[in-house]
Chain A
C-alpha cells in the first residue's frame, strides 16, 4: 500500500467511531411514581337492564345453535315485541298505509303509499314496483337490500304487503311478483328470490337501544342479502359476535356461565340521539366538532340542513363564511342537553302526560294531572309510534301528526316577545322557526337531475349555500335563507314556515307513467364504458369527446329529443321529462336566540322573505317546470316560472289568498288608482295655481290693483 494512501485509509476506518461515540445509549429517565395522577375515577353505576339471553328464532340460545339472533325472541322475553313491532311506524314504513297505485297522496301515479315502502323518492330514485309491472325495478327483497339501510327492520322486511304472511311463505305468482322476485341485473329479467336462504330482516332493537351498534355491518349484511343475520351483525364490536370471513361467530367468552350476555357489554338502555343519527344524520358523539359531509347518509342535513349538534359553529371543521363571528351552537336545544327522544318520545312514556293533546286547552279546574302509567307497564309495551311533528316531508303515519309538543308547549312565547308589535298576529301567521331559524349554515340539496347521468353513472346534483363543490373542504359555505311557505297546520290554518325546496327532474315512460329505471337510463346513455355516440353527438358541444359538467344539461329541445329517442330505442313508450318540487320543512338547527330575526324589514319589505323569489334551479332540463308534490301540505298559491336567464323561480308562494303583509305586497290596482287621484289632484292644483300666478302677473303689468 502506498504510504500516501494510508492516512486516507485510516480515515475510512476511523470515521465511524466518532459517530458511534456521539450517541451513547440513552437510559430512559425514571418516570413519575405517583399512584394518583388525576382526580379519583368516577363511580360507574351499573345500568338497570338485566343481563340478557340471546335466542334465535326458534327460541334456542344462539351460543348453542349458532343461528342468527332473533331480537324479537330475545327481547321478547320481557318486552312485548309483537306490540312494539306493530305500533311502530319506523318499522311499518308505510306498509300499513299502502293503497292501490295512483291514489297516493303524493299525486304520483306510480306511488303505492306514503312511507319509505311505497313512496318513490327522486333522491334515491329506486322504484318499488307493483305486481304486474312490465318494467319492474325493485322487488321487496331488493328494497331491503338497497333501502333497508335506512329502515329499522320488521314490517315490509318481514311480511308480505299482500297478506301479511312472512315473506317467502307464498310461492311466486305471475311474471313479476314483487314479494318473490327481484330484477336480475345481468339478464334484466325477474328472478325468484330465495327467502329460505336469506331469511327476513326483523325489527332491530339494538339499532336504537344499544350503546354502540355496528350499523355499517348491519347495512353490509342487508346488501349481501343476508337479512336474517342483520341483527346479529349489529352486535359486531360488542365482542359478542365476531366475523370470520363471511361467517358470524359467537364468542363464548362474551357469554356468562348462565349463557347470558351482560347488559353493560351491549349498553342496553334508552334510545339516545346517536341512535337516531344513524339514519337521520351522521352517527356521531354529541360533542364531536362538526365535520360535514354531504351525502344521502346524512339525510336530514342534505335535505333540510339539519345539524343537531351542541357545539359552536365557529369550532366546527367546516369552512364557513365569517366563521369567527359564529358563536352560536348549531342547535341550541342540543346544547341545552335535549336529545331526540326528549321531544320525539313514546306516547305512553309515563314521564310525559299525553292525556291531553299538545295545544289542547287544559281543564279549567286542573293544572296538573298526576296519574301516570306504571313504569313496568310502559317497559312491557312501549308504544313505538313516537310522537311526531307536522312537516311537508314526514309523509308516513300522518294520522299521528301533531302529537308532538310544539315550540309553544314548552316555551312561554308570550312572555318574552314584548319587543314584537302585534305578537299574537305574528304567532298566528308565522311558525316559530320562521324567525328562529333565519339561516341555515349547512349546504343543502337544491336540484337532482336524473335526466342525464354523469360519467360516474350518478345524477347531476346541485346544492344551495356553498360556493364550490359541496364536499371540497376549500369550498366556502355561505349557508342559505330558507323559503317561507304557507304550511297548513293541524287546525287548517296557514303558517309561514321555513322550507328547503328541492327540485328533481327525471324521465317517466308509459301510461300510467312510471319512472324510468336506472338501468334503462344507463343503457340509453352509455355504450360500454363511454357515452352512446348519439348522446355524445347531441351534447358534446366543444367536441372533445367527453361530456363535462357544462355539457351535461338538456337545455335545448333537441337534446331532450335525442335522449327521448334513445329511451324509446330501449323499448320505453312515450318517454318524457317530469319535474317535481319537494319542500323539506326545517325544524331543527335552531341557533341561539340572538340570531333570531328581529328586523321587521326581513319580511315587511318588497323583495323580503315573504315576497321575494325563491331560486329553484339554475336551469330547467328539457324546459320542464317542476310541480309541487301532492302531499306537501302547503296552501296552494305561488307560481313556478322561468326567468329570462333560464333560472327557475318560485314566486309569491307565501301569500295565498287571505294574507296581507304590510310593506311586502303591492296592491297594484289600488295603488294605481290612488296615484291617479293624488297625481290628478296635484296636477290640477299646480295648473290652477300656475294660472292664477300668470293672471295676477298680467293684471299687475296691465295697471296693477
Chain B
C-alpha cells in the first residue's frame, strides 16, 4: 500500500472513529416518557360575529336559530342526531336484555329528581332546544335547536322552562357573541344538574369555571376547555356518562394524550393493568363545594321552617352533602347494569340504578373511583317497579305534597302501571369520576390504598388480601384469559 493510500485510509478511519465515539458518548437521551402536549390540537380562532345581524331583532330563540342556519345550514341537523338533542343514545344491546334499547335522559330514572317524564318544562330547561314542554315535542324541527346555549360567549344567556330563553335575555347580544364553547357554556347545565351547583356529579361544579391548579390540573393550570377532551366533530360530542348511558362506545380516555406507561417508576406502571388513572389522580372530588351524597324522598312534605336547604327541603326531602368526598372504588369495564323503566326490583335490599359491571376476573375491568349517591325513592308495592313522581306543575308534588296523586300522574306520563300502593326503597347510583384531576404532587401515595389505613376494601374487590403483600391479580392468576381492552383510562 502506498504511503498516500495508507495515510488516507488511516485518516478516514480516524475521522470515522471520532464521529462514532462522539455519537456514542452522547448516550441515549433520558427519554421523555409522557409527552401529552404533542396531542393537543391547535385552537382555531372563531369568526367574529359582532358585526353581524345588523338591524335584526330576535323575538325568540328559534328566530336566532334560523339566522344561524342561514350560514350554517347543516349545524342543526348534525346536532339533531346526537344525544344533546334527542336525550337518547343509539340503539344498543345491553347485557342481559334480549332487545336493543334506546335509552337516555328522556326515558331513564335516577335517584335525584327521578325522571323528566311528567316534569318536562322544568327538567328541559337544560335541553339544547326550545319548547320541550311535554311529551309531544317535535324533535324534527331544526329551528327548535338552541345554538346559543353552547355558543353564547356574552355570559348573559340563560334558559328557563322548556328550554326557552329566560326573560330579559338579550338575544341579539347573545347572537353576536357566539364562538367556541367554553367551560361556562357546558357548565351552565352540567355543573347544575340535580337542581343546583355541585349537587349531582361531584366532579363537576362551578369551581371549574375559573379553577386553580389544585382543583383541576387540566382546566386550572392548562386552561382546557371541555372540548379539549370532549372532542367534537360535526356537533357529535365525544364522551358518555354512565348515568344516562350503559356502555362506553364513543368513549375516550387519558391515553389519547398521555403515554400508556407514563410513570418513571416501573411498579407504578404495573398498576395500570388493574387500576384506572383516575383512581390515583382523583384523590377526592367536591373540593371547593359540597356535593349531595344522599337524598331521602320519603321525608318530603313536612314543614321545617328554618331548616338548612342542604339538610332538608319540604319539596324534596332530606339530604346529606359532603365536601372533599373520598370516592368509592369498584371494578368497572365500561358497562353498567342499567335499571330501565319498568324493571322489577327487590325492595328488601338496595336497588342499583346503574351498577358498574366488571370484577377482578374481567380483563377489561379496572378499579375506578365512583361517587355513590344513595337515595330513597318511591316504588309500587304491587308491581315492584320504581315509580316516577310528577313534581312540576300545579298538580305536581311540589305543590300538592300528595304522593299518591303525583305518582299516579307521573306513572301516566311515563307509561308505567300504578297500583295505588307505594312505598320507599333504598337505591344507589354510581357516578364515575373524571374531572377535578389533582396535580401530580397531590396524587395518591402508596400508603393511601395499601397498608392498614388504606382506602381499598381488598376483600370486597375480590382480592385475598392486600396485593402489595400478596401480589396483584395477574400474579395471583385471578384474571380470566382474554384480550385486555385498550387501556381505557
A positions within 8 Å CB-CB of B: 24, 26-37, 39-40, 42-43, 285-287, 310-312, 314, 327, 329, 334-337, 418-419
In the complex, are the beta carbons of B451 and A31 less than 8 A apart? no
CB distance A33 to B372 under 8 Å? no
List residues of B (282-335) whose CB comes within 8 Å of A's CBs. Answer: 293-296, 298-299, 302-308, 311-312, 317-320, 328
The reply to whether A327 and B440 form a contact with Cβ atoms under 8 Å apart is: yes
- Is the beta-carbon distance between A36 and B426 smaller than 8 angstroms? yes
B445 at interface by CB-CB < 8 Å: yes
Q: Which of A27, A42, A329 contacts B445 (CB 8 A)?
A: A329
Q: Is the CB of A419 within 8 A of B318?
A: no
Could you tell me the distance in whole angstroms from the C-beta of A288 to the nearest C-beta in chain B?
Answer: 10
Q: Is the CB of B320 within 8 A of A337?
A: no
A335 cross-chain contacts in B, Cβ below 8 A:
445-447
Residue of B nearest to A35 (CB): B426
Q: Which single member of B30, B302, B448, B457 contacts A39 (CB below 8 Å)? A: B457
Interface residue B441 (Cβ < 8 Å from any Cβ of A): yes
CB closest chain-B residue, reference A312: B441
Interface presence of B376 (CB below 8 A): yes
Q: How far is the CB of B65 from chain A (nearest CB, A)?
A: 43
Using A34-B426, A37-B320, A327-B440 as known contacts, say yes or no to A312 and B445 having CB atoms under 8 A apart.
Answer: yes
CA distance A665 to B459 in the complex (A): 60
Cross-chain contact A32 with B30 (CB below 8 angstroms): no
Are A286 and B374 touching (Cβ within 8 A)? no
* Contact partners of A327 in chain B: CB under 8 A: 440-441
Bound: A419/B30 CA distance, A: 9
Complex Cα distance, B454 from A285, in Å, reads 12
In the complex, the answer to whether A39 meets B312 with C-beta atoms within 8 Å is: no
List 9 tightest A-B contacts by C-beta distance, closest first.
A29-B312, A327-B441, A29-B307, A29-B304, A30-B299, A32-B318, A26-B306, A32-B296, A310-B447
Report how far A42 CA is from B460 CA in the complex, Å.
Answer: 8
CB pairs A–B below 8 angstroms (22 shown): A26-B305, A26-B306, A27-B303, A30-B304, A33-B296, A34-B296, A36-B426, A37-B293, A37-B374, A39-B328, A39-B457, A285-B453, A286-B451, A310-B446, A334-B447, A335-B445, A335-B446, A335-B447, A337-B451, A337-B468, A418-B27, A419-B27
Is B311 touching A29 in the complex (CB atoms < 8 A)? Answer: yes
User: Across the interface, which residues of B come within 8 angstroms of A30, CB to CB?
Assistant: 299, 302, 304, 312, 317-318
A-B contact count (CB 8 A): 95
B350 at the interface (CB under 8 A from A): yes
18 other contacts beyond A31-B318, A335-B446, with CB at 8 A cut-off?
A29-B312, A30-B304, A30-B312, A31-B299, A32-B318, A33-B296, A36-B350, A39-B372, A40-B457, A43-B459, A286-B447, A286-B453, A310-B445, A310-B447, A311-B445, A312-B445, A314-B441, A337-B451
B450 in the interface, Cβ–Cβ < 8 Å? yes
B328 surroundings in chain A (CB, below 8 A): 39
User: In the complex, which of the residues B293, B306, B376, B428 contacts A33, with contact meaning CB atoms closer than 8 Å?
Assistant: B376
- Do A337 and B457 touch (CB < 8 A)? no
Nearest chain A CB to B22's CB is how many angstroms away? 16
CB-CB under 8 A from A311, the residues of chain B are: 445, 447
A312 cross-chain contacts in B, Cβ below 8 A: 441, 445
In the complex, what residues of A have CB within 8 A of residue B307's CB?
A: 26, 29
Q: Which residues of A have CB within 8 Å of B445?
A: 310-312, 329, 335
Residues in B with CB closer than 8 Å to A337 are 446-447, 450-451, 468
Q: Whole-angstrom distance between the alpha carbons of A418 and B30 in the complex?
A: 10
Flag if A32 contacts B294 (CB, 8 Å): yes
A314 to chain B, nearest CB (A): 7
- With CB as the reference atom, state the residue of chain A lying closest to B453: A287
Residues of A near B293 (CB, < 8 A) are: 37
